[in-house]
Every structure is written in C-alpha cells, then in structure tokens.
Amino acid sequence: MRTADLLKPSPGLRVLISGAATGIGAAIAQAFLEVGSNVYICDIDPAAVDKAKTDNPQLHVGVADVADREQVDRIVDDAHAKLGGLDILINNAGIAGPTGAVEDMDADQWDRTITTNLNSQYYFLRKAVPVLKKTSSDPCIIAMSSVAGRLGYPYRTPYASTKWAIVGLVKSLAIELGPNNVRVNAILPGVVEGERMNRVISARADALGVSFDTMKGEYLEKISLRRMVTVQDIAALTLFLASPAGRNISGQAISVDGNVEYL
C-alpha cells in the first residue's frame, strides 16, 4: 500500500457521532459522508436534526439529551440496528456551561455541565464499547475535549473540569481497551470560528465588563498563529485518526488550536 493510500478511511465505516446536528459535529458527519461512511448522528435539538436529515438524506438520525443515560442507550441501540454495527464512536456532545466566579456559580448549572460533557461520554462508552468490540475489526473512539483540557480557564471552571477529565478518561481507556485493538484518542479544539464561540466570547465579555470586540481581540492575542481554527480543521483530524494512517495512534490528546498559549 502506498503511504498516501493510508490517509483514506476505509469505505463503509459505521460511525456514531453525538451532538452532531450543528457545529463541529455536523462538520465531522459531513466529512465522513464525503468518504463513503455510513453515519448516525444524534442531537438534543429536533429542528436541527430534521434540517441535517433534509440536507443529507443518507444520514441516520436520532434525537436525545445525552445527559440522560436511558436516552443514550436508546440511541446506541438504534445506531447498532440501522448501521449493522459500529466502527467509530465520536463523543462530541457538550455545552459551554456557566461563566462566572466559582463562589457565585449556580450548583444546578455546574451539575448540568458535568453530566452533559463528562457523564454522557461514559454513557455512550458503556453501551457502545461492547458493540465496537463485537462488530468492528478496527474500532476507534474519539472524544472531544478542548484546549481547556490542557490549560487553566478562569471563570469557566465547570467546563474546564470536564475537559481535563475527558483527557484522563481517554488515556485510561487507551490502556484498558488496547488489548482489544480499540484505539482511543482525544481532540482538543482551540478557539473555533462560529456562533457557539461568539456566545462564549459574549458571556465572558459580560462577566468581565468589556466589549465583545475587546474580548475577541484578547482571545486572538493568546493564539500564536493569531487566528481561530475552523470546524473543518477538527473534522480533518477525525478522518485522519479513523484512517489506516492512524492505526497506531492511541492514548493521545491532540490539540488543534494554532497553539493557544494561555486562557
């Protein structure tokens, strides 16, 4: 096999992606469709799921709140049935969580962030890992963390806590599942262009009493390349990790962030 051929994911991969009706997840789904994969997405927003299905009729879709274990179980069962098995699990779903000083933070918002961003990944893993082991010859798990999973992030403590925890989860699972030929990696996006990042910047600007433009400029100054990354940058890395070129990459936390120096 030529080295260049290693970069092409195998045709017909069966891929389950959470939180994938919009944003990074949608870009990942589109990328896998473009290389001939069979893709199942879920999302909490029924309207966004309907639009994703309309835009890409070949998608398999489901609606679920990933913070609810029973709903996740239903999604994995449905994906297993409709795809005939699983080769790739991409734990992408997550929320920004609250912004503010820890002593002022609402406990329910803290709990919701932990459950949605971290516990949901466990819910998918406990249900999907047996399917991956049984139905795939080259299973791969990709967990979405964040640059906030390698740096401290003041005023975003619940979010950062979940993203650090995801890295620990991935590194532990890579050891646990390696003997079963399951590769497990985390992707750590930086400042990603789009509506969600604009909301994050606005919330932090409000918390610190500065303008949106000032806050956005401060974010860019923290990036060595002085630019945001795109959802396509993240999607391209998922394809690489799922391809034969990624067959010996496991237990890694890979940043795609233009080298964010601090938060």
CATH code, domain carrying 66: 3.40.50.720
Please check whether residue 41 lies inside any domain of the structure: yes
Within a domain: 206: no
Q: Is 40 a catalytic residue?
A: no
Cα 81 from chain centre: 23
Mean pLDDT along residues 105-133 = 98
Task: Establish if 215 belongs to a structural domain.
Answer: no
Residue 209 belongs to a domain: no
Q: Which of 127, 160, 132, 129 is nearest to 146 (CA)?
A: 160
**213-225: pLDDT as tens digits:** 999 999 999 999 9
Does residue 126 fall inside a structural domain?
Answer: yes
Which range marks the domain in which residue 107 is found?
3-190+230-256
Average pLDDT over residues 69-93: 99
- Domains: count for the chain: 1
Q: How many CB atoms lie within 10 A of CB 211?
A: 11
Residue 139: DSSP 8-state = -
Mean residue pLDDT of the chain comes to: 97
In a domain, 117, yes or no: yes
Q: Which of 40, 123, 155, 159 is catalytic?
A: 159
Examine residue 223 and state whether it is found in any structural domain, yes or no.
no
Q: Using CA atoms, how far apart are residues 206 and 216, in angstroms rounded to an integer?
A: 12
What pLDDT sits at residue 207?
Answer: 85
Residue 240 covered by a domain: yes
Tokens representing residue 119 in the block: 């516990």
